[in-house]
Structure formats: structure tokens, C-alpha cells
Chains A and B, each alone.
Chain A
Amino acid sequence: MKPLLPHTNHRTESSSGLDQLVEELTQRLQAGDAVNVEEVAAVYPDLAPQLRQLWPGLRILATLGRSNDPHDLSVSSASVPDESLHGVLGDFHILQEIGRGGMGVVYEAEQLSLGRRVALKVLPFAAMLDARQLQRFKNEARAAASLHHPNIVPVYSVGCERGVHYYAMQYIEGHTLTDVINDLRRQRERASLPPGPSNDGYEAEMTIAPGSVSQLAEALVAGCLPTPLLESCSAHAATSPGERSTHAPPTVAPLAETRRIAASGDGTHRSGAYCRSVAQLGIQVAEALEYAHSLGVVHRDIKPSNLILDARGTLWITDFGLAQIESDHALTMTGDVIGTLRYMSPEQAQGQRGVVDRRTDIYSLGVTFYEMLTLQPLFVQTNRPALVQQIVHDEPRLPRHWNAAIPRELETILLKALAKNPAERYATSGALAEDLRRFLDSRPILARRPNWLDATVKWSRRHWVVVAAALVTLMLTTLVSSVAAVLVWRQGQETQTALEAAQIKTREAEFQSTRLAVERALALCDSGNTGRGLNWLAYALRLCPEDEANYQRVIRGNLEAWSHQAHPLEMVLDHPRYVSTAAFTSKGTRLLTSCYDGRLRVWDPERGELLRTMTVEEPPIGPLALAVHPRESLVAVGDWSGRIHVMDIDSGQPLIPPHQQSNAAGVRKRVTHLAFSPNGQWILGASANCAVRLWPTKTNGKKGDFMREPREIFTIGFSPDSETVITTARDEEVLAWSVSRGEFLGPRLTLLHFGHAFAWQDAGKWLIVASEGFDATVWNWETGELSPTRFRHMARVGTVSASEEQSLVATGSGDRSAIVWKWPSAERWGGRLDHPAAVDCVAFEPGGSRLVTAAGTRAYVWRTGKPELAAPRLAGIGEYRPLQLSPDGRIVYAIGEDRQVRAWSTASGEPTGLAEGNAEYFAVSPDGRRLVWSSEQECGAYDLDLGQPLWHSKSRVLGIHFSFRSSGEQMLVLPNSEALLVEVSTGEVIQRLAGYAGSGEAAAFHPSDRWIAIADARSTVRIWDAQSGQPVSARFEHSDAVCDLRFSPDGSTLLAGTKDGKIWLWDTTTHQLRRAPTQLPVPFREMSFHPNAHLALGVAGDGTAQFFDVASGARIGPPMLHDGAVKDVSYTADGRILATRWSARGIRYWRVPRYAEGSPAEIQRRIEALTGMSLDDNETIAHLNEAQWRERWTQSPQEKAR
């Protein structure tokens, strides 16, 4: 055999020679070579004895090491490319590898139980997924497995065997479009060569490979690809893949014929026939995508290598459901990233995962077919950032630049699919397929530029001869000008029609995009991403056609309602490098930040002005540790040589000479953590050499050492009473020391994960620890018990702050968000605070009304304003309905435990008097001056102004529904199947409505007071004349019992809400339904109307209440959650405040959504100032830098005023 080591002389006794030989043998064994030790020994006789001696151990260990591979596919695919899976995997016998890519390795395999051939894809990345992601992958895969379409590769099963996650699909005998494209490229290159031996070789290769990729390519070029799908596509729903195989399979035309046809063209992709073949393939994919999209499955990774062309000319889409999970797992980008990126849509390439929808597939299909038609990649950059730039910003070269044979219509279709803005692409794959079919049928295609200007340009381009002729005629002939005028007029009419058609199309497209944007916005808002959601709403408003006033109201209502959920951004502070720490001073008058440039910055938090930059060492080295004195204007700064400087914030001058931290051996290292004791007397410092020391604030001299073991310190601090020092280090223990005695108090807690920071609540009772385990946990400091309360994030929680005053906790996480939580319920308080990078620091201003966060090179200040209204307990309230607010909202009326109607202050919850009779029902007049009550035995009225009863009757009953006339002088009561108009001040009956016999609970006066609408229990509504007491309408029939009735303020419409969740709008003049009733989404059954008649409040059994737009049924604002189904609601007179009640004591107050005012551009600026983000017309979210944010801020007076 060949010597292993020709470059070194092993024929000596030197042990280094043996070392080297052993090393090389090890490498060979590890690479999987079979090594025969005797052969090696023969080559190196001098080393042979020693080699033989260590051989058994070397062989067994090298084999053992390699045997780990099947358990670790990420190793086998990423690092050991020639290592393949073989043998049996569960039900599958692996036959051979047929391909590999970023997503995994594909094997041809036999499914043993069914004896069928399958393609088995094993997913190395799956080994890196956590349980949640794995579940998501399985869900996606199941969704993909549910797709049955003749152009989608069927998924047979998804599973996990011996730690290997796999995906079994139908085995398709065919070639990927990547292969086809590559073959066509080769063909093109050969075609450019002069005829000769190489061309003969090509012929030979072609003729010996029937069914080969070249043959497919050839058939495409010749335009003789069989088109099974063009017929079967329309009937695919009824045709299962199994059935299709029984069809006589059309096959590729015999090669000779192919050649002949090809010869008639120029024999390359530059032929009309080729373009038509490609369009046919495009229809197949678009139809399949349309089908998948209709089931809510988006592919997300359409590219040539995921499209397989078989010999029958069928194009198959494979790998449904895989891209989702791949993008979910950012760390698996080990595969062919660029190869995948090349086909990504702009929104995908920018990582805007939330906005990726079916239009992404349309784009990727466009890229694929661009490459098919031109044999050029759409964008050519080979490094990631440059390619992303191209995808996002560069317009592609026109396809006809590369291939003049591409018909203009096909080019137009392609460009529409490739629009940067998803809204400008085909809205559905079906529309794309339709246009391709129109192209093939030589019918006019529908694709146009959505801009009417472009449409005009195109129109006039098509008709320029006529127009020019008309104009010339007009100019030159005065005698026959009338004829010319007619010509021009006709032409003008036609122009007008074309323009209008283009405008209508544009408008429809815009409105569709608007609705999609709103859907996306609300989904983001619902998931707590309020900042992003608001930007999408502002974008939707920009998109919304001007004549869609109703829908604009929906958007404006949501904008206003959701903006209360966002913590307003008050400041953005850019730094040259990462910000490590940020903190407010004790009175909140200054903000300090510590930056990786080694400087400390002092800011005016009111104006965002940089007041001073401080350094403590020259040159600056890195981030300085920072602590702010709890009472005085002092800061402690720790530097990189172990010094702790105590400085006056205002003057920047040191108070005392610096303290010098060092460990027991006297080594001075960087100060990593600092803390002031809450009483301000002590400074605690931790150094990178694991020293933790206590120093006095204003004098020199060490107070104590607090270190038990040399561990890297994660965080340090004091208990709120300044009596105890606590530390966490690179272990899970929280250690405690007594400050006064300097004693070690022992490990107090054992955490579940490393603790990165802590904060206190309830005066030291609870310790909240920001943890490596993706949450902040809460511990009882006295007992050491773990509370079930968790503040959860999607990544490590690295920082936490608490405000006892506001009962709030804030956490910051590697998931690029900070969240403000309510204490102790741990409910999220408003939306997530979205950041451009991991949030490394959060700190409340003392008092808790502002929060500073640090992420990447920016510090942010947010107002942690309360998004909801306080609802103090009402002392002595009973269980009886109803509940009513006074017109000004200051007083709430309800029936007390003593069964008497009582009034409470909404602000304090204190009772304010009122008591009369045993009431079961009551109502307050719209002017708030009178209150009428009733029970089964008695009734009465009360003058609220005078605070005394108006009348009281023990002999009458008024029933349980009262409706006041707008004047408040009269009211409608519905006792004992009667409808009576009663004078409020005296209780006298003044009118009895004829023909009413029901027991309804809903009635309403017309704004003019002329009419009364009353519902009865049989789900009908009728209108009576209030003067005459006679019915003036027939009975309006509904599908279910009516739970609320209201006239619109202009009196033109009567709104009825039924218990099956429908809204009915009746025209009060014609007494006809204005249109089909609007159905609220599923859980919302009962409803009531807001006084403005634009909003309906839907109430679900699970305690959710939600406002809906009456006209469209679209929801407005966040859901309002209660602990039980809402039974009573009441509004203030101005309609701004809603009170809800779900149980005896469960009452809450809510802001009723209003409508954001201003032009779409103004609103956009306002939202950008509010959130610090912006969404551009490419539907990309960007975080604003300081200058950009300030520009928005200064242009948004309303935001400034907040």
C-alpha cells in the first residue's frame, strides 16, 4: 500500500513519529475508512510492535465514537457529509440517498408494512427543536398531510424513530426544476458552441437517457410537454392522486419527434413554445397553491428544488409545512441559506414572519418562473446582506432583456407576481393561474399596474395612433372639425371607460389589501404585539379607499382603542455602542446610561437632552458598572481596574476618593455590578474576580466581604430594609449575608435556573428573579417557597424591575421585548414593548410612572400609563340587576345587599346614600335627575336632584323593563304583558299601547319621541305611535329573541340585536331590512348597542365582551375580559365610559373606543411616535433611530401632549 506519511520519516524509534501515525490512523478511522493494521505495520516495520500494541484500543474507541452518529443527525449532515443513514428506520427500509439540502436528507425507502416505495425525508434540525416547536412542526406537517391535490406530493406520515424525525412522502420519479434549469443552461452553452464532437457527445447522452432530465428539458423547449393537468385541474377536487394514476398517462413525445419540433424553433429556451410550456407548468403550481391556500396552508419555500417534474409533465410541489418550522428555528440556518434566500419574498427576506402570507408563495413562484424563462437568477448577489438588499430594493431586469421570445403578456404576469409590495401582487394564486390561462388562450390578461396613471399610459400606448390621428385631424381641418370632434369625443369616451375600469380594479385591490392589513393588525394586537399592530392599522388606513367611510371608521376605532394598550414611548436615545445599564435618579429628574464606549451619560428625561458625558478612566475601556443613590443626587460608578467612584450627578465631581475592589490575593479586576442599599448608607460592589465587598457611601474604608466561593457573580443587591445582602452567581443559589453583623446567612433559595437580576415586591416579602429559564419567577423570601406566579417570555429574561407604588413589574428579555405586568396577578399590563435587540436593562422611575429600557445601542423611555380604569369595590352592593351609571359617570347605581337602590361614588367606591323600598329593578332617566324602581309588590320614583322620593305605590307593579323618553318626563313600562306610557313625576299611566301582548325586555324611543319600538318574546319587533298608542308598522321578524333595540341618533335606522348574535338594521321609513343581518363571530351571543348606534357590544359566555362595528360586524378594540359572563352594561351620557358587571361585586369600567382623528399621514406619524417603529409601504417594520423618532415626535402635537 501507499505509505501514509510520505512527508515524515517514521522509520525511527522517535515517539513523535508514532504519535503522528496514531493521529493519522485515528483520522482515517473516524472518517470511516477500513484500516488493516497489518498493512500499515508492513509499511512502518519500526513502529509495528507499538502500533500492534495500541491498535485494539484505538479501533474500538474510534468505532464507538462514530457509532454516535445515527443519534445525532445534525452532526451527520452538517459535519460528516458522507455519513448516511442506512438500514431500517421504524416501518421504513432505507434503500438509497436521493438528495440532500438545507432541510435534510431525502432517501428512497420502502415502507415495510405497505410494501410501497416512499421518499423519506429526515430532518436533522428537528433534533434542535424544543417541545413547543416540535409540536408546531407536527401540526404544520399534519396540515400538509391533509392536502390532497394532483400537484402536491402526498405526505404519508410524519414521525420520530430513534430520535430521528422524518416525513414520508409519495416517491415521485422525476426531476426538480433546479435540475431542469441546470440542464437547459448546459444546453444553451452547448448551443453556443460550433458544431463538433462536443455536440455529438451531447446527442449521445440524450439518446441513452430516456426519462432523463435532459429529455424533460428538451420536451419543454419543444413545447410538446404533455399537459395532463390543464384538463384535470378544474376537477381536481373530485380526483384523488390514486385515481389519476389509472388514467392513461400521457408520455413525453418520442425523442425523434421532439428533436424535429425543436428544430423548427431555435432549439433553446428562446422559443415561444418553451414559454408556453413554462406557463402551463405555472398554472399547475398556481392551482395547487390556490388549493392549499384555501385550506390556510402557506408553503413559504417555493423554489425550483421543491418543484418536481415527472415524465408525464406533471409538476409536483413538495415540502409543504417544512419552511414554517425552519424559519421558526433561527439557529438552524446551517443549510443552503443563500439558495433558499434567493427565492424569498421581500417580506420574508427581512424576517417579517408575521406578514408572510399566501402572497409570499406567489412571489416565490414568480422568482422560480423568472429563472425558468430566462435561465438567470432573479438576483445574483451571493452574500446574504447584499442579496437581501437586492430583494428588498432592486427592481428585477425585465425578463425580455434575457429572452426576447417571452411574450409581453407573460412578462406582465411575471412582473405582477414579483411586485415588492404584496398588495400589488396577485391577490390569490387562482388569479395568477387564470391570467396564465388567458395568456395561453390568447385572451387579454387581467394584470395591470394598479396605478391609474400607468393604466392611462398603457392605454394611450395601445391607442396612440387613433389619438394622434384624431388630434392631427382636429388641428389641420377646420372645415370638417365637427367630424374630427366626434372622433375625438368617441375616443375620449373610450379613454374614460378604460380609466374607470382601471380605477375600479385598483380600488378593489386596495380594499382587499386594506382588509388583510387590518386582519393582520388585529392578530398582532391580540398577541400583545400592540406596537406592530398599531403600525399595521395606520398602514391599513393609508391603503383604505377614500369612499369606504364605514371601513375607515373601523380602522380609526381600532387605532384609538388599541393605542390605549400601548405604553407611549417618550424618548429614544441613541448611543455609539451597546447600552449596558440605564437608570433614573431618585426624583426622576435625571436619566443615566452606561455604554460600551466606557462613558456614562446624564440625560434630561423631560427633553431628551444630553447634559453630560462622564468617564472615570482614560482611555475608556468598556461599560462601567452603575448604581444610582436612592435618595440623593449621587451615582456609584465601577471601572475596569476595580475602583468604585462615588460622584455627584449634577457636578460630575467625585465625592470621596474611589474605593478599590480587589480579591483576597489583591488582584484588581473590573467592577461588574454595583448596588446602593435602600437606606443609602452602603455601596455593594462585585468584581470580575468574584469579590463582593461592602463600602460606606460617603467615607472610605471597607465594611465587609461577602464571598463564599469563587463564582462569577450574576447579580447583587440588598433587601428593602437594607439589612441583608443577597447575591446570585453561576449556580442556582441565592446567598444571603447580614449587613450589620457581616455574617453569612447561608443559601436562602435554590432557583430553577440561573438568576440574572432580581426585584422585590410587598416590602421584601416576595423576591422576583429574572431567569435563564425564559421567565421571571417569584419566591417567598421568608419561606423560600416558589410562587406559581410566572412572568413569561420567549427567551431568557435578563432583567427585572418592580414598582411597589404602581403594583407593577417589568421584565426584559432576549426575545427583544420588555413587558410590564400587574402585580400580583402577573397579567400583562398593556402591550409588549418592542425593541430592535435583546432588552438588557429595564428600570422603573421611582414612583413607577415611567420605565427606561436598554436594547442594543438604544435606550428608551416609556410611560407606563395605566391602560384601564380603576374599579374600587362598592361596599354593600347586592346581587340584583341592573347597574347604571349617572350621566357624568361619577355615580353608579345598583341594588344593595339590603335590596334597596343605592348609589356609590365610582372613584372611591363609597356609598352616597339613597334608599327606598325593596327594589328588583330600577332605571335612571337619561338626564340623570330621576330614578324609578319596582318590585313584585311595590314601586316608586325618586328625585335625584332633591334627594327625595317623588311617589311610592304599594299597589302597583311596573315590571322589569323601563325605557325613558329622551326628555325623561315619560317612560315606557312593560308589566304583565302590557305596554304602558307612564308620567315619571306622578306615576300616572298616560297611554296604553294597543295590540301589545308580550313580555319583552327591549324597547326604544325614537329620537323624535314620536315612535316606540318594542320587542316581544316571539322575536318580533313592532313600532307604535307614542301619541295615539296605535301600531304604525307590521311586525319585524327576527331569527331569535331580541336582546336590545336602539334607534340611530338620526332616527333613520332601528337596530335590533338578537340572541343568536345577529345585528339587524331596519329602515324606519320603509320598514324594510337595509341589508342582510350582520353575524357576530361565534362566542358572542347577546349584545347591546352603544348610544351612538355605531357600536355593538357583544357578550360571550366565557366573560369576554367585545365592541363591534354595527355596519360591518368588524371588531373594534381589544376584548374586555371578565371572570364571568357580563350581565349588565351601562354607559355615561357622552358614551365614553362603559361599566360592565359580571357578578355581585365584579364591576369594571372601560373606555369606549373613539375614532382616531387626523389624516392617514398624521396618524401614521402619531403611531410611529407612540411605538418607535414604522411600517413602510413594503410592509416592513423598522425601529426608528433617535433622529427619526424625534422628527415624528415633534410633528405629533397630540403625542407630545400625552
Chain B
Amino acid sequence: MSHSRADTEELVRRAAAGDRTAETELLVRHQSRLKRMVTVRLDRRLASRIDPSDIVQETLILAARRLPEYLQERPLPFYPWIRQLAIEQVAQQHRRHVKALGRSVKREAVHAGYLPDHSAVELVMRLVADRASPSDDAARQELRAAVRKALDQLDPQDREVLVLRFLEQLSTTDVAEVLGLTTAAVKSRQRRALERFSRYFEEHTA
């Protein structure tokens, strides 16, 4: 579902050699993935105030500025790098708006790139809500509660791998890059997380 990494690598090489078209192409090709990621990561309370596209746009602008620096140092592969920029943009929005809402949010938690625990869960709920027809209302409520509780019970690493893999829809290779693991480790972690999630989920729907 995404552009191949080999292509991206080639573009990075061309961009580093000064090819401006490659630079633009690099930024453009990831925007849809970024948008999905931002949509997933955006706190539900902010969803009405912030358009994920705006954050993606800001990210791309920022990335364009940082690109020369990135190309010099290349601390990590391209997508994880630009995704990290987007995560920070999201975190920034959260800080700003949560501040504006007068709530106290622990800065460190935000800065680490993981969002406040409830947000991913909230998003899942939103997706469930949007997709179902009105007649399914009761069932939807039930499903919502079950998924929420099950995700709540997972430890953060398990939850993160499920969010990356299923909500951001990253490939295992990408998840590996983002989390700094091997793909084998990602697959294994994903399987274990699914086992735990399913157990909790079944408990709540039983």
C-alpha cells in the first residue's frame, strides 16, 4: 500500500545530490500516510478544532526546511524521520489546545511522542461510531466499550504496535523502523499483542 522503500532511498540519494524534483517528490509521496497517522493520533477533543491536513501541511513545510540538514546527517530512514516531525506537530497542537482548554497535561508524556493514553482509544471509538448505521446503535455502544477496555488494559508497547500496524497501517518494515526493532521482533510483538488484546476483548464482549 505504500511506496517502496527502495524508491524512497533512491529519491533521498537524488535529493542529496541536489535534485529539487526529488526533494518535492520525497515530501509529496508520504503525505497520505502522514495524514492517516495524524488522524489516528489526534486527540478526539481537538478533532473539531484541527484539521489533520493542516498538521500534515505544516509538517511538510517544516520537513522541506529541515531536508538539507536531514540529507546531511540521515539519522534514520526517511519515513520515520518525517513521521517524527509530524508526531511533534501533533504533540504541539495537543499542548497548545489542551493548554487552551485549561487542562494540565504532563509535558514529558507528550514530548516522548506517545500520546496521552486515551487518545488512540478515543479515535478507535470515533471510527466505530462513524461507520455503523443508526440501527446498530446498541451493538456499536457495546463494541466501543469492549475495544476501549481491551486497549486500556494493554501495556503501552503492545498498544503502540497495534496502533502503528492497524490504525496507521504501517507495514511491518515501517513499524520496525519507527520502533527501532527488527521486522521479526515486530511480527512477534504484534502477534503477542493481538493475543492479549483478543483475550481482553473477548472478556468484555462475553
Interface positions of A (Cβ within 8 A of B): 15-16, 18-20, 22-23, 26, 30-31, 50, 53-58, 60-62, 64-65, 67-68, 71-72, 74-75, 78-80, 127-130, 330-334, 384-385, 578, 596, 622, 730-732, 754, 772, 795-796, 798, 814, 838
Contacts and interface: CB of A to CB of B under 8 A. Distances in A.
A869 to B, nearest CB: 39
Interface residue tally on B, bucketed by range: 35 or more
B178 interface: no
13 contacts: A19-B190, A23-B190, A26-B165, A26-B166, A57-B150, A57-B201, A62-B166, A67-B131, A331-B57, A385-B21, A730-B88, A732-B96, A772-B58
B61 interface: yes
B101 to A, nearest CB: 15
B50 interface: no
Contact of A65 (B35, B68, B167, B187): B167
In the A-B complex, list the 6 residue pairs whose CB atoms are closest, starting with the nearest: A57-B198, A19-B187, A57-B197, A61-B166, A54-B194, A65-B166
| Interface SS of chain B | helix
B198 A54 contact: yes
A67 B169 CA distance: 12
Contacts of B28: 331-334
Interface string B78-104: 000000000010001001100000000
Nearest to A18: B191
Contacts, number: 145
Given A79-B2, A127-B35, A331-B60, A20 B187 contact: yes
A436 B35 CA distance: 49
A68 B2 contact: no
A22 B32 contact: no
B58 A74 contact: no
Contacts of B150: 57
A58 B124 CA distance: 14
A22 B187 contact: yes
Contacts of B201: 56-57, 60
Contacts of B24: 330-331, 333
B111 to A, nearest CB: 8
A58 B198 contact: yes
B195 A54 contact: yes
Contacts of B197: 54, 57, 61
B149 interface: no
Nearest to B167: A65
B36 A68 contact: yes
A58 B62 CA distance: 36
A74 B65 contact: no
A732 B36 contact: no
Contact of B32 (A19, A74, A385, A578): A74
A22 B191 contact: yes
A838 B124 CA distance: 40
Nearest to A74: B32
Contact of B31 (A128, A772, A838): A128
Nearest to B201: A57
B129 to A, nearest CB: 10
Chain A interface, >50% SS class: helix
B191 A19 contact: yes
Contacts of A772: 58, 61-62
Nearest to B183: A23
B112 interface: no
Contacts of B115: none
B53 A19 contact: no
B72 interface: yes
B53 A127 contact: yes
Nearest to B172: A23
B56 interface: yes
Given A19-B190, A55-B198, A64-B127, A331 B147 contact: no
B202 interface: yes
A68 B126 CA distance: 10
A22 B124 CA distance: 21
Contact of A72 (B36, B124, B166): B36
B193 to A, nearest CB: 8
Given A30-B1, A128-B57, A596-B68, 13 more contacts: A16-B184, A53-B198, A64-B147, A65-B167, A65-B169, A68-B36, A68-B167, A74-B32, A74-B35, A127-B53, A334-B32, A385-B21, A796-B61
A129 B53 contact: yes
A72 B147 CA distance: 22
Contacts of A50: 195
A798 B65 contact: yes
A23 B192 CA distance: 12
Interface in B140-164: 143, 147, 150, 162
Contacts of A578: 68
B61 A68 contact: no
A58 B194 contact: yes
Most buried by B among A31, A56, A772: A56
B33 A79 contact: yes
A53, A64, A798 pick with most chain B CB within 10 angstroms: A64
Contacts of A596: 68
Contacts of B198: 53-58
A75 B197 CA distance: 27
A129 B51 CA distance: 10
Nearest to B96: A732
A796 B1 contact: no
Contact of A75 (B36, B147, B165): B36
A366 B195 CA distance: 63
Contacts of B92: 731-732, 754
Contacts of A57: 150, 194-195, 197-198, 201
B195 A53 contact: yes
A71 B39 contact: yes
B130 A67 contact: yes
A61 B190 contact: no
Which of the listed residues B27, B53, B195 has the most CB atoms from chain A within 10 Å of its own CB?
A: B53
A331 B31 contact: yes
Contacts of A60: 143, 147, 201
A838 B67 CA distance: 13
A30 B169 contact: yes
Find the residue from A16, A55, A57, A127 having the highest chain B CB count within 10 A: A57
Nearest to A55: B198
A56 B146 CA distance: 12
B10 interface: no
